[in-house]
Structure 1
Amino acid sequence: MDVVISLLFILTLAQHLPPVAPLETLLSAVVESVLGDSRIFSGEEVRLRCSVPDVHGSKWDYQWFKGSEKLGHSGEHLVLWKARVKDSGKYYCQGLRDSLVGNIYTLKSLPVEIQVDGGWAILEVPPQHGLVGQTLKFTCHVRGNPSIHEVILYRDNVEIMIQSGSNPHFHLNNLTLEDQGMYSCRASWDSDRLTRSVISAEASVQVLEVLTQPILEIVELDHLKMRLICHLQYNAHAPAPSINYYFYNNNKRLGTATSENRFLAKQRPGHYSCKAKVPQLDISRWSEPKSFGQVTGQPTMPPFLQPRNARPFVPPVSSPAAAQMFLYQASPAPDSQMSHNEMPDYFDDMTPTTVIH
């Protein structure tokens, strides 16, 4: 009788205990496309593969997700055979394996986004953002690969390039921030004595500066010391070259170049600024000067560096992300922009000019 009562008590207690959370590792699954592109025509095939970078060589099983929905499929590969438009979405995978304490799960992979197009043309754009000064390649694919005699590239519904013949590739050189937008392509070919013309859906293209303009932050630590912090966004594609940071007080450099974006300095009144430089790419950007303490006047450029017709570069008001600091620019054209090679190394100790807003 006592045994029966004990069993009933254990069963009752188990029903009220919280469910045991699944065991997770710090490993993250990786999903990649091994067949097909991220943008495909309906009826085509995509094959995805899941893996777990486990240095111990453990045997893993896999489960798949589309968005937040868990798919019934399991296994290393997921195949979208004769894909349909409704198959478009973000796909994830997760590894799991048995252990003495139950199933162990990896973290979910980063997503792979698949877009299935039911139309006749697809504009293939780079998966990553473009960078100012670089080149972007676009390719206009047409269902069935007919013999094309003309392809047109549009940005925000405005024609920007045209290719005669069967070459469906476009190269947009020396990118600027103005090249960002929604792109599409139109392809034309002859069939059965008629000219066929199709246009793709729009694809978004983002263009970023390699270095955004730094913003200097001054943090008072006590009555003797302060910390200078140079904030910026670095958008170079991996592997990204290293950045050097320089800090200035009243046009004089404080210490030497550092890979850290912060500098510990004595509290002194004056105008402070910072500069970020990527030597390997020969790109530099200045912050705007920031005053600390009781100071008067504005920082000025040393007279021996001022060309006779010099004037500061003024970025367009509508493009604050394009604001830049330059040592000097001698009579630039109204629309010219200098996003690279802002100043040679021997100007490191000189004074930046301020951007006029």
Structure 2
Amino acid sequence: NFPFHILIVSPDLTRVELVSGDSRIFSGENVQLKCSVPIVHTLSWNYLWYRGSEKLHWVGEHLHLWDTKVKDSGKYYCQGVRETLVGDILTLQSLPVEINVDGGWAILQVSPNPSLVGNTLKATCRVRGEPQLNEVILYKNGFEVMRQRGLDPTFHLPIMALEDQGRYSCRASWDAGRQTRSVISAKAPVQVLEVLSQPVLEIVADSYLIPEKKMKLICHHQYNAPAPAPPVHYYFYESDIQLGTATSENHNLVKRTPGNYRCKARVPQLGLSKWSKQISLKLLPSI
């Protein structure tokens, strides 16, 4: 008999992706999710699915949500599992995909979400049963943003900026018999991200991995360019004097010296460049 082990393997993320349907749907509609295991671990995997902390009774690569109910709303995760002689091997759990099932009459579907600064956001106001609409109004944080008459329920918001982030909803009206009906959707959060965020400089001088009389400058930032993303170049400065040459690594080992330090992240192909705030060091610890 072999002992039973559960091993967590691979620093690469297992991913959940939406392959049909939308993250916001009406009750009664269908959604299909797919679990992708990192390429290096593709042989003979089964899959574990979770909604929040609840383990679902499903082991296939695709999770089908048929004829959904409001109770099916939640954050869905997956995990790869493979049997071995010493027990089950598990991948790391994926980041979640959130599904919202609405039992009402109107929903606002937003794509892409999150959006990147400078991109166009598409917001579609769907009404259950798809009646012929008279007017559709888009709101942000309760205030009207746009309205349009006619059958087209889709708004296009060009050149998104950070201040466009917020909670969006829509109102739709149509004629039914001799009456005009009007419904409003629940609010949908819209997130807007910079392609390249402002860097934050970290200085490490007290680690046993750092050589004596040296310190490590690390330029932290968030890079949200879609794949294939062009490379980021990093520059490190002390009192506006560049320390060494540009590098593709976000860190640099330099002489441990008091001074005013900052870093710059630059993407030449996109014409983007961001500076960190300056860090002033008057006295550095000795190891």
Q: TM-score, normalised by structure 1?
A: 0.66
Tell me which amino acid in the other structure corresponds to 1:287: S
Q: 1:350: which partner in 2? A: none
Matches within 5 A, 1:1-357: 20-22=4-6, 26=10, 30-50=15-35, 52=37, 58-101=43-86, 104-126=89-111, 128-220=113-205, 225-266=214-255, 270-293=259-282
- The 1:80/1:136 distance shift into structure 2, 3 A limit, reads same
Instruction: Kindly indicate which of the two structures has a greater share of residues assigned to helix.
Output: 1
* Structure 1 residue 134, shift from structure 2 partner: 2.3
Q: Determine the C-alpha separation between the residues in 2 that align with 1:104 and 1:34.
A: 26
Q: Determine the C-alpha separation between the residues in 1 that align with 2:267 and 2:37.
A: 35
* Structure 1 residue 159, shift from structure 2 partner: 0.4
Q: Determine the C-alpha separation between the residues in 2 that align with 1:161 and 1:264.
A: 52
Give the alignment's Cα RMSD to 1 decimal. Answer: 3.3
- The 1:55/1:171 distance shift into structure 2, 3 A limit, reads same
Q: Determine the C-alpha separation between the residues in 2 that align with 1:223 and 1:115.
A: 55
* Per-residue CA distance 1:247-298 (angstroms, 9 max, x = gap): 233333232211222333345565433222111211111233344449xxxx
- The 1:278/1:62 distance shift into structure 2, 3 A limit, reads closer
Q: Determine the C-alpha separation between the residues in 1 that align with 2:278 and 2:137.
A: 46
Structure 1, unmatched stretches of 5+, are 1-13, 295-357
* Structure 1 residue 95, shift from structure 2 partner: 4.4
* Structure 1 residue 180, shift from structure 2 partner: 0.9
- The 1:179/1:73 distance shift into structure 2, 3 A limit, reads same
Task: Verify the 8 A CA contact 2:75 2:99 in the aligned structure 1.
Answer: yes
Q: Determine the C-alpha separation between the residues in 1 that align with 2:276 and 2:48.
A: 48
Instruction: Kindly indicate which of the two structures has a greater share of residues assigned to strand.
Output: 2
Task: Verify the 8 A CA contact 2:34 2:61 in the aligned structure 1.
Answer: yes
* Structure 1 residue 243, shift from structure 2 partner: 1.3
Tell me which amino acid in the other structure corresponds to 1:242: P
Q: 1:332: which partner in 2? A: none
Q: Determine the C-alpha separation between the residues in 1 that align with 2:278 and 2:69.
A: 56
* Per-residue CA distance 1:189-230 (angstroms, 9 max, x = gap): 122122111111001111222233233344557885444333
Tell me which amino acid in the other structure corresponds to 1:255: G
- The 1:212/1:66 distance shift into structure 2, 3 A limit, reads closer
- Percentage of identical aligned residues: 62
Q: Determine the C-alpha separation between the residues in 2 that align with 1:108 and 1:153.
A: 37
Structure number with the bigger relative contact order (C-alpha 8 A, sep ≥ 6) is: 2
Q: TM-score, normalised by structure 2?
A: 0.80
Tell me which amino acid in the other structure corresponds to 1:43: G
* Structure 1 residue 166, shift from structure 2 partner: 1.4
Q: Which is further off, 52-61 or 125-134?
A: 52-61
Task: Verify the 8 A CA contact 2:112 2:122 in the aligned structure 1.
Answer: no
